[in-house]
Amino acid sequence: MKCVEKANLKQYNTYKINTMARFMYEPENVEELKDLLKSLRDKNIKYYILGGGSNVILPDENFDGAIIKLALKDLEIKDDIAFVGAGYNLNSFIKKTIDEGYTNLASLYGIPGTVGGAIRGNAGANGSEIFDDLVSVLVLQDNDVKLINAHNIKHSYRHTSFKENNDIIFGGVFKLEKGDTKKAWEIINENLEKRKNSQPLEYPSAGSVFKNPEGLSAGKLIDECGLKGYKVGGAQISKKHANFIINLDNATSSDIISLIEIVKEKVKKEKGIDLELEQEIVKW
Ligand SMILES: Cc1cc2nc3c(=O)[nH]c(=O)nc-3n(C[C@H](O)[C@H](O)[C@H](O)COP(=O)(O)OP(=O)(O)OC[C@H]3O[C@@H](n4cnc5c(N)ncnc54)[C@H](O)[C@@H]3O)c2cc1C
């Protein structure tokens, strides 16, 4: 298993926060993961699971522990069912299913990160979410391997019960449906174009900062408070999309968190609405 000491995490989080971890491990299968967890527990070393780092605000302080980046990248597609490892890049997985003639995951194409991260947060786009096609999830729960039926996993808009427990997701089983693959790529390209035109993809960010309150757009509320372009240190509320904070110039985690607090306060004062974070402020 790959292990790096004094790992620089800047390239492993999409905000490009410059922080370090004492160790970074990349287990390639469940046995390696179990052995690693046991050895870390025996040595009293804390750990944090990182997927693609596209939904997290990592702390500025270095982590005196171990980052576990799951390199579980198995993929099997057979009889309208796919099994995919949690470390698989979500877009690469969707592309593979389309290559095999299946199109039901196409609307999720464009979401950065891994399959594991997407399942944990019930990632979604274009009116679909990952739980729509999820059959079951393989997890490591208190060191036991369990296959949980997706119907038995509490989930809602950008939320699942995995956010409330310590389960480590190591794979997902998806149902697949055949469709017109040429049409699917046309729709994907249109969706990617829409993202490019509406989101500040030219800067580091972690996607939408806040969830949309029911029936409302968080971006619109922030824009109406006059906050587009507002800066703290190297972090800025995007001028292109007010629900994105971008790393304009060597932003720190505390720059981003200060901006978040300012937005929450202003939207509460002017609109009477409590915005809820979609991104995760990580505490080591
Ligand atoms: C430009 C941009 C656009 C985006 N657009 C969208 C969008 O359209 N829709 C959307 O839903 N999101 C969007 N996002 C946010 C992000 O891509 C998703 O939330 C994504 O699913 C996160 O996956 P990840 O692997 O990067 O997770 P990470 O950010 O690495 O981790 C997120 C959380 O999940 C935990 N975690 C990760 N893997 C596992 C695992 N295997 N087991 C247990 N816990 C795990 C981590 O500990 C952390 O708590 C966007 C982000 C960016 C940068």
Torsion on CA atoms 238, 131, 191, 84, rounded to nearest 10: 100
pLDDT at site 162: 97
Closest ligand 1 atom to 130 CA: 11
**CA gap 38, 188 in Å, rounded:** 42
* Ligand 1 contact, 160 CB (< 6 A): no
158 is catalytic: yes
Six token digits for residue 23: 């160790």
pLDDT at site 280: 98
CA of residue 93 to ligand 1 center, whole Å? 15
Q: Are 115 and 85 in contact (CB under 8 A)?
A: yes
Domains annotated on the chain, with CATH: 2-69 (3.30.43.10), 75-184 (3.30.465.10), 203-281 (3.90.78.10)
* pTM for this model (two decimals): 0.97
CA of residue 270 to ligand 1 center, whole Å? 30
* Ligand 1 contact, 14 CB (< 6 A): yes
Q: Are 113 and 55 in contact (CB under 8 A)?
A: yes
pLDDT at site 142: 87
* Ligand 1 contact, 243 CB (< 6 A): no
pLDDT at site 143: 86
Which of 9, 54, 84, 130 for a ligand 1 pocket mutation test, highest count of atoms within 8 Å of Cβ? Answer: 54
pLDDT at site 80: 98
**CA gap 137, 151 in Å, rounded:** 10
The three-state secondary structure class of 38 is helix
CA of residue 204 to ligand 1 center, whole Å? 14
pLDDT at site 193: 98
Q: Over its length of 284 residues, how does the chain's per-residue pLDDT go in tens digits?
A: 999 999 999 999 999 999 999 999 999 999 999 999 999 999 999 999 999 999 999 999 999 999 999 999 999 999 999 999 999 999 999 999 999 999 999 999 999 999 999 999 999 999 999 999 999 999 999 889 999 999 999 999 999 999 999 999 999 999 999 999 999 999 999 999 999 999 999 999 999 999 999 999 999 999 999 999 999 999 999 999 999 999 999 999 999 999 999 999 999 999 999 999 999 999 99
* Ligand 1 contact, 87 CB (< 6 A): no
Q: CA of 209: how far to CAs of 28, 54, 76, 160, 242, in Å?
A: 31, 11, 34, 18, 9
Which of 120, 134, 194, 202 for a ligand 1 pocket mutation test, highest count of atoms within 8 Å of Cβ? Answer: 120
Taking CA atoms only, the protein residue closest to ligand 1 atom 33 is 117
